[in-house]
Amino acid sequence: MKRLLGVLLLLAASQLQAVDFDYRLSARPIAENVYAFIGKTEDFTTDNGGNIVNTAFIVAPQGVIVIDSGPSLRYGQQMRRAIAAVTAKPIALVINTHHHPDHFLGNQAFADLPIAALAETRDGIAADGNAFAENLYRMSGDWMKGTEVQLPGKTLSAGIVEVAGRRLRLVALDGHTGADLVVVDATSGVVFAGDLAFNGRAPTTPHADVAHWLKALDQLEALTREAGFNVLLPGHGAPSADAGPIRQTRAWLTWLSAAMRSAAKDGLDMNDVLARPLPAEFAGLPVAASEYRRSVGHLFPAAELQALGAKP
Amino acid sequence: MKYPLTIAAIALAALMPPAEAAALRESGDPLDSARWSEMQKAFLAGAPVLFDPRVKVIAPSTAENPMQVPVTVDATALPGVAEVVVFADFNPIVQVLRFFPEDAPAFLGFRVKLQQSTPVRAAVRTADGVWHVGGTWVNTVGGGCTAPSAAGGSKEWQQRLNEVSGRQWSEGPNAGRLRMRIVHPMDTGLVAGTPAFFLEEINFADAAGKRLMRVQTYEPVSENPVFTLQRVSADGPVEATGRDNNGNAFTARIDQ
């Protein structure tokens, strides 16, 4: 009996260990003095706790610049500890690239520091932040414990800024959301693309304007052709030494919007569109099937309006 | 009532492919919903009921947007369809719509607001008085019925109320198809300060005035409803007429 109890206790202990809410973040150097935490190319689950996103930091001469804060309070706290393990310099600024929850819900862990975003991103977080957080509690479970929305207190605008002794170029684009900030660090040659670029994972479209997004991708690709370009860090998926993630994202969006248009033109109903198989080119892409289904909900109604001759 | 239905079920089963015949059953909700007996009482009281795989209810198993869940009801495999009633067991307003196919096949696509995960069902009454029931579970995060309509946030819809757009397809894989959209907030009355305001009836008739289908709509139909019908052949324009619960009427011609 005692032995049985012992085994049961051991089992219980090993189960506890499986859910220790440790994201196991380890800073990966992607260029000199630039590090990233690379998330999984998955959807939010209670296993990954929302660690499906890339966040990053630059060790500048007088401090650290953090780019995106992750999906939860715990992530933000663990990120802060992981940064402290790399450098003793203080954090000078946290930047949120756009208003999606996996990119800003770690802000709380940096509440004592300046947090900045584009004006539309701040507005988006203020308007939708709580609903996003609620949704992540549903999908990621207890990993989210204690997470609340922390609004960025500072507003950024496009142009050159100097932070902690580092000159950064802020490029304000849109298309993935209403405001997508790209940060170009000329010193290291890193382009922080945010969710304008996905690598090896199907893009998400809940607030997308595909035409704008495609235009933004052209501008983003131009940045990778500039002298000194070194690494592109997408919002999801591995960093890249070339514009590959941009081309992947463009190919998906181009196919997706053409597919919605032709489906609507052919008289398909939304359920017919959902039932369509993915083309071979994208069938193997992680989370392609689920993102396609979501995107039909986001994008088909507009294509349908056009096909039915309705005013938008 | 039980005995004659069993005879009918056996006779039906003999005519169906074995897989479908095996799924045919008179009792025991295949969707295992705690509210089935209430639903049966409310909508099918006293009449014989058959769970019938020939009644196809197509909807995503997980709804991305609870305000716009696409549902397609296809009962074209059943002969002699007189009436189809669509309901969602766990919605605060259960009844979604009814349709009466006349010169058009028993096929209708539309979108619905769902408040929580629920079976979405179609009960199809055939000429012999039997209700054939099909359905599917839809999982959703909810909020569809108590979230305000988008129209509530703008005044533009007032100028565009009952504005109809639509098309018919006379060739290609969807020949005979008709799709129509109407501008209407379809307010459920469950949002504080916004009374129920929804389309109640839509009639589709061909150029000769022959009715294709009558549709009775209720609050859970999505804002700016979109309908998909299938004609035997897309022969000439279709006239759509209808009205909402405030008496606002519309008439529109849908060309090819």
Q: Which residue has the higher pLDDT, A222 or B6?
A: A222
- What integer pLDDT is reported at residue B1 of this predicted model? 45
Tokens 């000439």 -> residue? B236
For residue A293, give the nearest of B60, B68, B71 by CB distance.
B60
Query: What is the pLDDT averaged over residues A5-23?
Result: 61
Q: How far is A271 from chain B (nearest CA, A)?
A: 6
Residue B133, amino acid: V
Tens of pLDDT along A130-167? 988 988 888 899 999 999 999 999 999 999 999 999 99
pLDDT in tens, B80-96: 999 999 999 999 999 99
Which of B139, B222, B228, B256 is the best residue to mutate to test the A interface, defined by the most A CB atoms within 10 Å of its own CB? Answer: B228
The fraction of chain A above a pLDDT of 90, given in percent, is 88
Q: What is the pLDDT of residues B33-78, one digit of tens each?
A: 999 999 999 999 889 999 999 999 999 999 888 999 999 999 999 9
> Would you call B84 helix, strand, or coil by DSSP?
strand
Closest CA to B218 of B194, B179, B245: B245
Chain A residues within an 8 Å CB radius of B174: 266-268
Residue A17 has pLDDT above 90, yes or no: no
pLDDT at B171 (0 to 100): 87
Instruction: Say how many CB pairs under 8 Å bridge A and B.
Output: 69
CA neighbor of A53 nearest in space, from A207, A205, A195: A195
Mean pLDDT of A2-13: 52
Q: A233 - beta bridge partners?
A: A192
Chain A hits for B109, Cβ within 8 Å: 269-271
| Exposed/middle/buried for residue B156 (C-beta within 10 Å: 0-12, 13-18, 19+) | exposed
Is B2 a residue whose pLDDT tops 70? Answer: no
- Helix ranges (H only) for chain B are 2-15, 18-23, 36-44, 156-160
A76-94: pLDDT as tens digits? 999 999 999 999 999 999 9
Which pLDDT band holds residue B10 (cuts at 50, 70, 90)? Answer: confident
Give the number of residues written for chain A.
312
- The 3-state secondary structure of A75-137 reads HHHHHHHHHHCCCCCCEEEEECCCCCHHHHCCHHHHCCCCEEEEHHHHHHHHHHHHHHHHHHH
Put simply, the answer to whether A271 touches B167 (Cβ < 8 Å) is no
Confidence band (pLDDT; 50, 70, 90) for B22?
confident
Which residues on chain A are in Cβ contact (under 8 Å) with B180? 308
Spatial distance between the Cα atoms of A307 and A305, rounded to a whole number of angstroms: 6
Residues of B with CB below 8 A from A267's CB?
167, 169, 172, 174, 177, 179, 228
What pLDDT is recorded for position A266?
A: 95
* Residues of chain B positioned with their CB less than 8 A from the CB of A297: 63-65, 68
pLDDT of residue A8: 52
> Is it the case that residue B111 has pLDDT exceeding 60?
yes
Q: How confident is the model at residue A18 (pLDDT cuts 50, 70, 90)?
A: low
CB contact under 8 A, A293 and B70: no
Dihedral sign (CA A200, A202, A208, A214)? positive
Is the CB of A310 less than 8 angstroms away from the CB of B181?
yes
- Which pair of structure tokens corresponds to residue B15? 């005519």
Task: Give helix A210-224 / helix A244-265 axis angle, nearest 10°.
Answer: 160
For position A5, what pLDDT does the model report?
A: 54
> Is the pLDDT assigned to residue B6 strictly greater than 90?
no
Q: What is the pLDDT of residues B159-202, one digit of tens each?
A: 899 999 999 999 888 999 999 999 999 999 998 889 999 999 99
Contacts of B171 in chain A (CB under 8 A): none
CA A307 to chain B, closest CA, distance in angstroms equals 8
Average per-residue pLDDT in chain B? 90
B27 Cβ neighbours under 8 A, 6+ residues apart: none
Closest Cα in chain A to B74: A271
* Nearest-angstrom CA–CA distance, B36 and A199: 46
Per-residue confidence band for B5, with pLDDT thresholds at 50, 70 and 90: low
Strand partners, A192: A183, A233
Reported as half-sphere exposure (CB side, CA atoms, 13 A), residue B78 has a value of: 31
Residues of chain A found within 8 Å of residue B70, distances taken between Cβ atoms: 269-271, 274
Percent of chain B, pLDDT > 70?
93
Per-residue confidence band for B151, with pLDDT thresholds at 50, 70 and 90: low
Residue ranges of chain A whose CB lies within 8 Å of a chain B CB: 135, 138, 266-272, 274-275, 293-294, 296-298, 301, 304-305, 307-311
Q: What is the dihedral of CA A225, A227, A230, A235, to 10 degrees?
A: -50
Check pLDDT > 60 for residue A15.
no
A215-250 pLDDT, tens digit each: 999 999 999 999 999 999 999 999 999 999 999 999
pLDDT attached to residue A115: 98
Band (A6; pLDDT cuts 50, 70, 90):
low
Complex-level ipTM beyond the 0.95 threshold:
no
CB contact under 8 A, B72 and A305: no
pLDDT, residue B35, reads 96
Sheet holding B118-126, edge to edge: B49-51, B131-138, B118-126, B81-88, B95-101, B211-217, B199-205, B238-244, B249-254
Angle between helices A244-265 and A288-307 (to 10 degrees): 50
Select from B58, B65, B181 the Cβ nearest to the Cβ of A271. B58
Q: Starting from the edge strand earliest in sequence, which strands make up the sheet with A154-156, in order?
A: A28-31, A34-37, A55-60, A63-67, A91-95, A115-118, A154-156
